[in-house]
Structure 1
Amino acid sequence: MTQIFGTQVGRTDGAGFAIDRRGLLAAGGAAGLLGGLMPFAAAKAARAGGTLAMTINPEPNAMVSAFNTASPVAVISAKMTEGLLHYDFDLNAHPALATGWEMAEDGLSIRFDLRPGVKWHDGVDFTSADVAYSILQILRKHHPRGKSVFAKVTDVETPDALTAILRLSEPAPALMYALSGWESPIVPKHIYDGTDVLTNPANNAPVGTGPFKFVAWERGSHIILEANRDYWGSAAPVLDRLVVRIITDPSARVAAFEAGELHLGGDGPIPVSEVKRFTESPKFQVETRGTELNNSLDVVELNLRNEILAKPEVRQALMHALNRDLMMQVVYYGLAEQLTGPIPQSLPHLYTADVPAYPYDPDRARALLDAAGHAAGSDGMRFGLRLIAPAIGDTYDRAAQFMRQQFKAVGIDLELVSADVPTFIRSVYGEYDFDLSMFPASVTADPTIGSQRFYWSKAIAQGTPFVNASGYSSPEMDMLLEAAAVEPDPARRRQFFIEFQQRAMADLPILPLARPIYVTVASADVENFVVGPEGVRASYGSLAFA
């Protein structure tokens, strides 16, 4: 076997780590911290103790991200559950629940050495049986992204309590990017085995190995987590308690920050119109890093079961009807990257701009609609569509209004529906009751993990959230995605993803809009709130007051 990673590292001094890296994780653009580890760039000195109030929006509908990849779920889950690895600014892997690992020369097995002395929050020992159970019975079956990420895992062998060996049917280069705590949390076998895992009470009151323990969830109000004083290693959580407040109104969040009632919030907790003012205020810190491992994109998915949207000319017309240059300014206030396709520029090793393009051209949009057989009526309108978006902030409201105006100019009447997250998930993924769906789609650190599920026909699974809901099915696209998922050669894999981007923009089951630059806001006296690419999805063992 070839040693890829695996220098065993302790947690005695809180410093960074020097891990052998030989090319498997050759991506760029982020910073990493998980499992309560101190940041790689040197954490600031902090005082111990205290209760910190942070906010997430919308309220999560569960607390374990093994079953639900919605951002608020990932944020809360990662404080209590952990993964095998965590990642640094260059997306190099570092130890978390695994202290070392090695991959076979043929790429068909990965051996993980597990951290000794780790206990679940209920006092039971963490072992390799938990890893095997989590991957085979939870992540591979129930995680929206895990179904593709772990698709090549045929077995997890456990020769002893601190060794787990993943056996693969084919190489899976993306898998090593997907082992962080918020993405692929390890859950306790003794809590889940023999139960209906989807309704297990631990989904809403997690039992993890992380630096914080679950205390209470007052729905609509707050979530309380307390420090895990039995946390493995020497660097126990700095805070005593973390209170996560649910404040749905953006203006109320601004007021709470200004009144000192909130200390921290990520994923754009304040309106983008307020970002400049907060940035200039000495009372606050505003950070734009911390979403690189997530790479959330704002997209519009089209329901191709609708006979109107099934016509390629109509989908192309929708793109030509949108002035996306203007959209970046009036909707995102400049805090966004305009997308050219399903892979953002923040993944430069895979990105290409050489794709079919649809510049703003209302006349071209009208001509395409005419060609599709949708002539304008006496009132100038051709047909109506319904756009549904989750009620997760004012940006989506502005985006929906903007699209309504733009589409009206070419004769399309757009009805707008804003739904709470459970209703959105039920309508889009459970009932396919939508025409257009705007939502944040996470590419993560690798398109096989994040993008594939939206374009792969085998990901269509009614009732599973944040997968292919459009009904898009293309044998050519399936072939590209499946080839990229198992190709170990970086150059060949890049070519597969270039062709993926080109086909995605030719077929247009999804209209790519923007990669928002989400800010994290913290009070001036908060330390270590963005220490890696996870941002607020980090475990926050080092989060503290100055």
Structure 2
Amino acid sequence: MRRLIVLAMVATLLASCGSSVASASDRPVRILTGDPNDLDPAVQGDAGSAAITAQLFESLTSFDADLQVRPALAESWEFAADGRQLTFHLRPDLAFSDGTPLLPSDVRASWLRVIDPAHPSPLASLAFDIGGAEAYARGLVTDPSSVGLHADDAAGDLVVDLAHPATDFVNVVASPTFGVVPRTIDTDPGALRPGPDFIASGGYLLTGTTIDGLELTANPRYWAGTPAIETIELVGTLNGESAVTAFSGGDLDYTPVSDIDASWLAYDEKLGPQLRLVESLSVQYYGFDTTKPPFDDVRVRQAVGSAVDWRRIAALSAGDEPRQVANSMVPPGIPGRSDLDFLPDYDPDRARQLLADAGYPGGAGFPTTVLMTGGSGYDAAIVGEIERELGITLQAETMGDGYFERLA
């Protein structure tokens, strides 16, 4: 089965089972994913890496195709009457891919890594519903036992003390950030290295590399049974070839394509019937380094937020594809998403006043600032609006292939 995906929402091309590629059994299913930034669930913070780690490391819950939360490593759960305590009951006889028992204490250890004060996850705030988690992550306390995670390996239970009633926490832990990893991940430098010794808790093992990317092999000890697709090759790059050409030629079975390509693929006699559109369940956002000036000042951050007409930029970039401005960090379609609109109001006058109050009237004295992104159609418009409204010049840079490797 082959699919071609458009990342705006997400469109897919589904090839007929009679096609030469779909019916071929002499090679793995090939999916264009790009290279992951990191394979450690507690380190990765981007959707691309998370899509890969979700196949390698399972959490206690998961979402089904209808976005309903379902049991994963946990077979059931229950809340206390006041909603402030949650007990997960793990499935019996769980094991990592190497046969090592997977216990509630392994879940606790994995989740504590997310809020490790020495190097917290970029998504550590997802765990802040857990009692004591935020204080621990911020280094205000140093004892991990102060965090409301209690493992009872004999009973097969993980008890979570919540900071407040949070019955949606079972949805939160479906995030790949909460994937359960082996204890050796912090002591063995090769724990995340592709190969025969890779240990997983999810449906697939990272068994090797290929000339184009990574090779995943079905985990025979996966709690839900060995996955039906035995081998998957995650293609990191096409070396200049277009995704549509590679798909049409049978070199890919599932791949992202651009909005522009999607607009004509819908009318292609061969590929058009295979095109599908689904929710991408992702959010594009810009963040600040708040550890030092100028963005440690909330007035500066608010000024940037109010200086840009985010709704207009999203609308102009949408073209013919349905696209919604991100008014929350939770994308549309996620159960329990708030109806509140958290998007800053577009108010250039207030933005200029905030910037002046912070000590940078008209942008005077504002330090050199780099806008580092993965490259999007929004960057130029945002740089232009910030310069026009605030007098701040941003140096836009794009993270190309191998960016993180060069920093290592």
**Counterpart in 2 of 1:350?**
338
Deviation at 1:306, TM superposition (A): 4.1
Could you report, residue by residue, the CA deviation over 1:162-194 in whole angstroms, capped at 9, with x for unpaired residues? 3333344654444211222623111223x34xx
Contact 1:328 1:334 in 2 (8 A): no
Q: Which residue among 376, 382, 391 is the counterpart of 1:403?
A: 382
SS at match of 1:202: coil
Letter aligned with residue 222 of structure 2 = Y
Q: Which residue among 115, 118, 139 is the counterpart of 2:114?
A: 139
Deviation at 1:68, TM superposition (A): 1.9
SS at match of 2:288: strand
Residue 242 in structure 1 maps to residue 217 in structure 2: no
Q: 1: CA distance between counterparts of 2:271 and 2:54?
A: 27
Could you report, residue by residue, the CA deviation over 1:485-506 in whole angstroms, capped at 9, with x for unpaired residues? xxxxxxxxxxxxxxxxxxxxxx
**Counterpart in 1 of 2:12?**
none
Q: Which residue among 177, 202, 208 is the counterpart of 1:210?
A: 202
- How many percent of aligned residue pairs carry the same amino acid? 20
**Counterpart in 2 of 1:95?**
71
Superposition pairs for residues 262-411 of structure 1, below 5 Å? 262-265=252-255, 269-281=256-268, 282-283=270-271, 285-292=274-281, 295-299=282-286, 301=288, 305-307=292-294, 310=297, 312=299, 316=303, 319-320=306-307, 322=309, 324-330=311-317, 334-340=321-327, 346=333, 350-353=338-341, 357-358=345-346, 374=361, 386-391=369-374, 393=375, 396=376, 398-410=377-389, 411=391
Distance 1:422 1:335, change over 3 A: farther
SS at match of 2:122: coil
Distance 1:333 1:426, change over 3 A: farther
Letter aligned with residue 216 of structure 2 = L
Q: Which residue among 177, 186, 194 is the counterpart of 2:171?
A: 177
Could you report, residue by residue, the CA deviation over 1:252-282 in whole angstroms, capped at 9, with x for unpaired residues? 33332232211113xxx22222121233444
SS at match of 2:315: helix
Q: 2: CA distance between counterparts of 1:130 and 1:262?
A: 37
Residue 419 in structure 1 maps to residue 395 in structure 2: no
Distance 1:367 1:66, change over 3 A: closer
RMSD: 4.2
Deviation at 1:236, TM superposition (A): 2.7
Q: 2: CA distance between counterparts of 1:140 and 1:323?
A: 31
TM-score by length of 2: 0.71
Aligned length: 361
**Counterpart in 2 of 1:512?**
none
Letter aligned with residue 214 of structure 1 = L
Deviation at 1:365, TM superposition (A): 7.2
Contact 2:126 2:172 in 1 (8 A): no
TM-score by length of 1: 0.55
Distance 1:162 1:48, change over 3 A: farther
Deviation at 1:52, TM superposition (A): 0.5
Q: Return 5+ residue gaps in structure 1 as ranges.
A: 1-29, 31-43, 431-546
Letter aligned with residue 174 of structure 2 = S
SS at match of 1:160: coil
**Counterpart in 2 of 1:149?**
127
Deviation at 1:366, TM superposition (A): 7.5
Letter aligned with residue 403 of structure 1 = I
Q: 2: CA distance between counterparts of 1:356 and 1:112?
A: 38
**Counterpart in 2 of 1:462?**
none
Could you report, residue by residue, the CA deviation over 1:338-360 in whole angstroms, capped at 9, with x for unpaired residues? 2446566656852334876216x
SS at match of 2:209: strand
Q: 1: CA distance between counterparts of 2:88 and 2:298?
A: 49
Contact 1:388 1:419 in 2 (8 A): no
Letter aligned with residue 263 of structure 1 = D
**Counterpart in 2 of 1:111?**
87
Distance 1:167 1:80, change over 3 A: same
Q: Which residue among 85, 103, 112 is the counterpart of 2:61?
A: 85
Bigger mean CA deviation after superposition, 145-154 or 122-131:
145-154
Contact 2:216 2:232 in 1 (8 A): yes
SS at match of 2:55: coil
Q: 1: CA distance between counterparts of 2:320 and 2:296?
A: 30
Q: Which residue among 3, 7, 30 is the counterpart of 1:53?
A: 30
Q: 2: CA distance between counterparts of 1:55 and 1:387?
A: 30
**Counterpart in 2 of 1:129?**
105
Q: 2: CA distance between counterparts of 1:365 and 1:159?
A: 54
Deviation at 1:247, TM superposition (A): 1.3
Deviation at 1:71, TM superposition (A): 2.0
Contact 1:328 1:335 in 2 (8 A): no
Distance 1:226 1:256, change over 3 A: same
Q: Return 5+ residue gaps in structure 2 as ranges.
A: 1-8, 10-16, 132-146
SS at match of 1:76: helix
Deviation at 1:367, TM superposition (A): 8.5
Q: 1: CA distance between counterparts of 2:161 and 2:310?
A: 48
Q: 2: CA distance between counterparts of 1:254 and 1:237?
A: 27
Deviation at 1:337, TM superposition (A): 1.0
